C-alpha cells in the first residue's frame, strides 16, 4: 500500500490540508479511497462481497467469501499505531512540503508528540518514500543528462571535465498531465553503468532523449529507444545540494 496515492500536492496550504485531512474520519476516508478505489477487495482472497462492523472504535470489513476481517490500516505503516491518523497525515504533509527536509525535532513540535515518536515516524515515512522512488521506472519521453555535484577547486575544470565533482545521471519524465518525475542517480558515465541503470530505471516503452554523450546510447539495452539531440555543448547542469 503506497501512501503516495494520497495526493499531497506541493504548495497545498495548511488551511486546505486541514479542510481535507483535519479529522480522523477524513483521513480514514482518504485511506479507504486510496486503498480500494473501486470498492473493497479482500486482501486474502480478492473477493469483493463483504459486510462491515465497528469494534473498539475501528471500522472493519469482513469478506463474505473467506471471513477475513480487515481495517483500512491493516498492512500499512499505520498498522498497530497508537497515534491518530491525523498526526500521521500531518507528518506526511510537513515532510512532503519541506524544501530541505524537516528535522525530527521540528516534527515533534508541530505534531505535539514525544521526540522518539517523531523520530520513528520520520524514519518510517522516509523509508516508504525512498522505497517508492527506488522502484519507480520512468516511461514515455524521458530526458537524460549528466549532472555534477560538488564545489570546484581553484583552477579546476568545470562541468564534465572536473575531477572534484560527483557525477550524477539526471533523468526527467514529463507526463501528459504535467507531472514531473525526476530521478537522480550517482554513477560513472560508462556504457555498462548506463545500461545497468536503464534496465533498472526505465520501462521498455521509454523514449530517451539525450544530448548524445556517447555512453547514453546503451540505454537501448533496456528496450527503450534513444533519440539524440545536439545542444551545442556548454556547461552541464549542477545539482543543488538540497536535492540529494
Ligand atoms: Zn476473502
In order along its 244 residues, the chain shows pLDDT tens digits of 444 455 566 677 889 889 989 999 999 998 898 889 899 999 899 999 999 999 988 899 999 999 999 999 888 888 877 899 999 999 988 887 776 678 899 999 999 999 999 998 988 888 777 766 677 788 888 988 887 776 444 455 555 555 567 788 888 887 776 667 777 788 888 999 999 999 988 988 899 998 867 888 899 998 999 988 865 544 444 444 444 3
Question: Distance between CA atoms of 140 and 173, rounded to whole angstroms?
Answer: 7
Q: Identify whether the C-beta of residue 241 lies closer than 8 Å to the C-beta of residue 165.
A: no
Task: Using the mean position of ligand 1's atoms as its centre, give its distance from the Cα of residue 62 in Å.
Answer: 8
Closest CA to 222 of 129, 142, 134, 133: 142
Residue 183 CA to ligand 1 centre (angstroms): 38
Q: What is the pLDDT of residue 238?
A: 46
For residue 69, the CA-to-ligand 1 centroid distance in Å is 8
Given a contact cutoff of 8 angstroms between Cβ atoms, the answer to whether 233 and 160 are in contact is no
Q: How far is the CA of 71 from the centre of ligand 1 (A)?
A: 13
For residue 153, the CA-to-ligand 1 centroid distance in Å is 63
pTM value is: 0.56
What is the pLDDT, as a whole number, of residue 151?
A: 47
Confirm if 146 and 168 have CB atoms less than 8 A apart: yes
CA of 135 to the centre of ligand 1 (A): 28
Q: Residue 54 C-alpha to ligand 1 middle, in angstroms?
A: 18
> 65 alpha carbon to ligand 1 midpoint, in Å?
5
User: What pLDDT shows up at residue 237?
Assistant: 45
| pLDDT the model gives residue 9 | 62
Res 53: pLDDT: 95
CA of 53 to the centre of ligand 1 (A): 16
C-alpha cell at 91: 507528518
Provide the pairing of β-strand 166-174 with 180-186.
antiparallel
Q: What is the pLDDT of residue 240?
A: 45
Determine the pLDDT at residue 163. Answer: 59
CA of 84 to the centre of ligand 1 (A): 27
38 CA to centre of ligand 1 in angstroms = 16
* Set of cell numbers at residue 185: 542517480
Residue indicated by cell numbers 521526540: 115
Specify the residue for cell string 495526493. Answer: 7
Q: On the CB side of 48, how many CA atoms lie within 13 Å of its CA?
A: 4
For position 155, what pLDDT does the model report?
52
Going from the Cα of 68 to the center of ligand 1, the distance in angstroms, rounded, reads: 5
DSSP for 54-97, please give it. EETTEEEEEETTT--EE-TTTTSTTTT--S-HHHHHHHHHHHHH
Residues 6+ apart with CB under 8 A from 213: 146, 189
Q: What is the DSSP letter of 160?
A: G
- The residues spanned by each domain of the chain are 13-76, 93-135, 141-151+161-243
Query: Which residues, 6 or more positions from 169, have their beta carbon under 8 angstroms from its beta carbon?
Result: 144, 145, 146, 147, 183, 184, 185, 187, 189, 194, 197
Q: Which residue has the cell 560538488?
A: 150
Task: Give whole-number Cα distances, 42 to 76, 122, 146, 220, in Å.
Answer: 15, 30, 45, 40
* C-alpha of residue 186 to centroid of ligand 1, in Å: 44
Amino acid at each position: 500500500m503506497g501512501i503516495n496515492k494520497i495526493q499531497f500536492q506541493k504548495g497545498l496550504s495548511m488551511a486546505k490540508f486541514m479542510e481535507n485531512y483535519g479529522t480522523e474520519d477524513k483521513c480514514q476516508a482518504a485511506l479507504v479511497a486510496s486503498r480500494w478505489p473501486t470498492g473493497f477487495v479482500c486482501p486474502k482472497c480478492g473477493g469483493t462481497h463483504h459486510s462491515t462492523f465497528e469494534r473498539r472504535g475501528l471500522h472493519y470489513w469482513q469478506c463474505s467469501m473467506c471471513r477475513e476481517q480487515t481495517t483500512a490500516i491493516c498492512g500499512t505503516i499505520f498498522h498497530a499505531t497508537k497515534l491518530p491518523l491525523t498526526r500521521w497525515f500531518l507528518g506526511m504533509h510537513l515532510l512532503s512540503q519541506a524544501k530541505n527536509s524537516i528535522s525530527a525535532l521540528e516534527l515533534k513540535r508541530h505534531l505535539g508528540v514525544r521526540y522518539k515518536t517523531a523520530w520513528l515516524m520520520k524514519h518510517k515515512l522516509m523509508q516508504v518514500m525512498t522505497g517508492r522512488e527506488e522502484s519507480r521506472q520512468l516511461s514515455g519521453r524521458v530526458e537524460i543528462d549528466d549532472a555534477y555535484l560538488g564545489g570546484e577547486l581553484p583552477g579546476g575544470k568545470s562541468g564534465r571535465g572536473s575531477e572534484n565533482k560527483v557525477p550524477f545521471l539526471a533523468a526527467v519524465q514529463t507526463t501528459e498531465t504535467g507531472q514531473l518525475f525526476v530521478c537522480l542517480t550517482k554513477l560513472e558515465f560508462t556504457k555498462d553503468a548506463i545500461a545497468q541503470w536503464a534496465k533498472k530505471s526505465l520501462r521498455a516503452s521509454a523514449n530517451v532523449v539525450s544530448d548524445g554523450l556517447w555512453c547514453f546510447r546503451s540505454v537501448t539495452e533496456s528496450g527503450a529507444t534513444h533519440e539524440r539531440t545536439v545542444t551545442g555543448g556548454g556547461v552541464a547542469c549542477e545539482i543543488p545540494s538540497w536535492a540529494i
